[in-house]
Amino acid sequence: MEETDIALMELIKRGDDKAFELLLARHQRSVYNLACRFLNDEAEAEDITQETFIRVFRAAGTYTPEAKFSTWLYTIVKNLCFNSLRKRRSVTIVSTEEETLPEIPAENHDPSEIIDGKRLRFKVLNAVSALPENMRIAVILHKFHDLQYDEIAKILGCSVNAVKLRVHRAKALLANSLGDLHPKPNDA
């Protein structure tokens, strides 16, 4: 029978290294991809993945399962990602409600254009990277990690309505930048 994440954390607390290896194997892909998509930087995503799991290991002794393990884990990743952005840009992050929505660069393309997978991925990456940080993290968690709004709200430390609003606004912005694309059926 497969151990739950919380059970594995309990084993790690007692010094079981195998349990940590199992937890690492189970979650490193999602942690790495969250950081990678949010920061759009693979090297930085590697550092954040390492730092996240080192923090998980060190915090195992004091870990109390108040919420789902993944919520706690993604909260660590989110904090590290925002710290990394602060260091990189030295920009104070304000709430989405106060942010002015940026103009996503419009693509001059033929609406009937059929683009290959590589170019499409590049356009998607640019469109998501152009989103404000608080919207971007909400979209990534919702779209790529299949998290519900209430769980995202816990991770981001805001209300469910705020998350909903961020995702709705992000969808509207993405519709402007990606809505006219016609990917090949096997690309999408």
Partner 1 sequence: MNCEWTKDNLIACIDRELDPSQELLLKEHLHDCSACRREYEKIQIAWKTLDCWKDLAPPEHIQKNILREIKGGRKAKWLYRMVPAAAVLLIIAGIGFFYNSTDTGSFRQFTVEKENTPVEAHTDISQENVDDIIVNLQLLREKDFYDSLDRLEKIDYLPLVEDRQEEDKKESNLLEMHAA
Binding interface with partner 1 (CB under 8 A): 17, 20-21, 24-25, 28-29, 32-33, 36-37, 42, 46, 49-50, 53-54, 57-58, 117, 120-121, 124-125, 127-128, 139, 143-144, 164, 167-168, 171-172, 174-183, 187-188
CB of 92 or CB of 185, closer to partner 1: 185
Please state the closest distance from residue 92 (CB atom) to partner 1, in A.
Answer: 28
Specify the amino acid at residue 175. Answer: A
CB of 42 or CB of 94, closer to partner 1: 42
CB of 91 or CB of 106, closer to partner 1: 106
Q: Residues 6 or more apart from 151 whose CB is under 8 A from it?
A: 68, 70, 71, 141
Q: Give, to the nearest 10 degrees, the angle between helix 160-178 and helix 149-156.
A: 100
What values do phi and psi take at 2, rounded to 5? -75, 130
Bin 14: left if φ > 0, else alpha if -120 < ψ < 50, else beta.
Answer: alpha
CB of 45 or CB of 158, closer to partner 1: 45
Please state the closest distance from residue 125 (CB atom) to partner 1, in A.
Answer: 7
| Cα–Cα distance, 122 to 128 (Å, whole number) | 10
| Cα–Cα distance, 160 to 126 (Å, whole number) | 27
Please state the closest distance from residue 46 (CB atom) to partner 1, in A.
Answer: 6
